[in-house]
Amino acid sequence: MAVHEAQAYKDPGTPEDQSRRQFLANATLVVGGVIGLVLTVPLAGSLIPESLIKPDTAGGTWATLPADGMKQLAEKTDAPVKITFSFKYADGYFPPEDDTQFVWGVKLTPEQAENFKAKRPDIYANPAGKIGYDAVVMNFVIFSSICPHLGCRYDWNGAANRFICPCHGSQFGAEGDKLAGPAPRGLDPLPFREKDGAAQVTWIQYKSGQPDRVIVAYS
């Protein structure tokens, strides 16, 4: 493209003209900048996913635990309590789907609650095993019912006073620590909170068969 000579630019004009033009040039850039800034905020903001805004569920949804299940848990101190609950999980904009799961609730003694971190190096010492929420809330810990070995549902054995998985014999203590067997890590605690008088938990499925905790799904 040949650079041509435009008439209007030949005469630089008076210093007044020049400073006025400088002002117009600056003002034009400022106007452009203002428009850009005003747009950047909502546009960049729209990219923030819900999981960053509400990190306490690690991206899942809160489900309410049935009152009688929680009552049982609050009263029982000698053994974990199995609590079944239903919830709706939603993936983005799709209509919510129904799901039913059960969890193992454990009421810890104040001593157990204090020593929980020490008892569970698989959560707190392994950087890849960590969870983004508190495992112990109000002295309760709620465990996912999925065995971290290969995904079976394990059970509480009262006589042996431990969780035992029927599939390959992994054994876990009341605090979820691995006692024996092929499981690569201890039991997975789930997000737990009290809201408006009801107990709520977030169902998270972690990938089984490895020491690291990687979220696979919320159903």
Partner 1 sequence: MSVLNWIEQRTGLVGQITDFLTEDVPGGASYWYIFGSATLFAMILQIVTGIFLTFYYAPSTASAWESTNYIYHNVPFGQFVISLHFWGATAMIALLFMHMLQTLLWGAYKAPREIMWVIGILLLVVTLVLGLTGYLLPWDMNAYFASQVAINIASSVPIVGSATQQLLSGGAGMGTLTINRFFGLHVWLMPAVLVLLVAGHLTIFRHNGSAGPPVDQDLKRLPQGRFWPNQMFMDALASIVIFAIIVILSIVSPPALDEKADPTKFFIAYPAWYFLALYGLLRLAGDPHVPAALTPIANLFATVVLPGGLITLLILLPFIDRNPSRQLSRRPWILGITALTLVIAVGLSLFSMLKIQDEQAAGSGGGGAPAAAAAATTGTSPSGGTAVAVASSGKGLQVFSQSCAGCHGATGMGQPGVFPPLAGNSYVTGPPTAVVHTVLYGLTGKIVVKGGTYNGTMPAWKGNLSNADIAAAISYIRSSWGNKASAVTEADVAKVTK
Sites of contact with partner 1 (CB under 8 A): 1, 3-4, 6-9, 21, 24-25, 27-28, 31-32, 34-35, 38-39, 41-43, 45-48, 50, 53, 92-95
Instruction: Closer to partner 1 by CB, 145 or 202: give it.
Output: 202
The Cα–Cα gap between 218 and 210 comes to 18
Instruction: Closer to partner 1 by CB, 171 or 219: give it.
Output: 219
Element (H, E) at 62: strand 62-64
Question: In whole angstroms, how close is the CB of 32 to partner 1 at the nearest point?
Answer: 6
CA-to-CA dists, residue 183 to 25, 82, 143, angstroms? 69, 21, 15
Question: In whole angstroms, how close is the CB of 212 to partner 1 at the nearest point?
Answer: 29
Question: In whole angstroms, how close is the CB of 45 to partner 1 at the nearest point?
Answer: 5
What does the block give as tokens for 28?
């034009």
Question: In whole angstroms, how close is the CB of 217 to partner 1 at the nearest point?
Answer: 19
The SS3 call for residue 201 is strand
Instruction: Closer to partner 1 by CB, 48 or 159: give it.
Output: 48
CB 100 within 8 A of CB 85: yes
The SS3 call for residue 117 is helix
The Cα–Cα gap between 9 and 37 comes to 32
Instruction: Closer to partner 1 by CB, 27 or 67: give it.
Output: 27
What does the block give as tokens for 109?
């003694």
The Cα–Cα gap between 136 and 145 comes to 17
Instruction: Closer to partner 1 by CB, 43 or 159: give it.
Output: 43
Question: In whole angstroms, how close is the CB of 23 to partner 1 at the nearest point?
Answer: 9
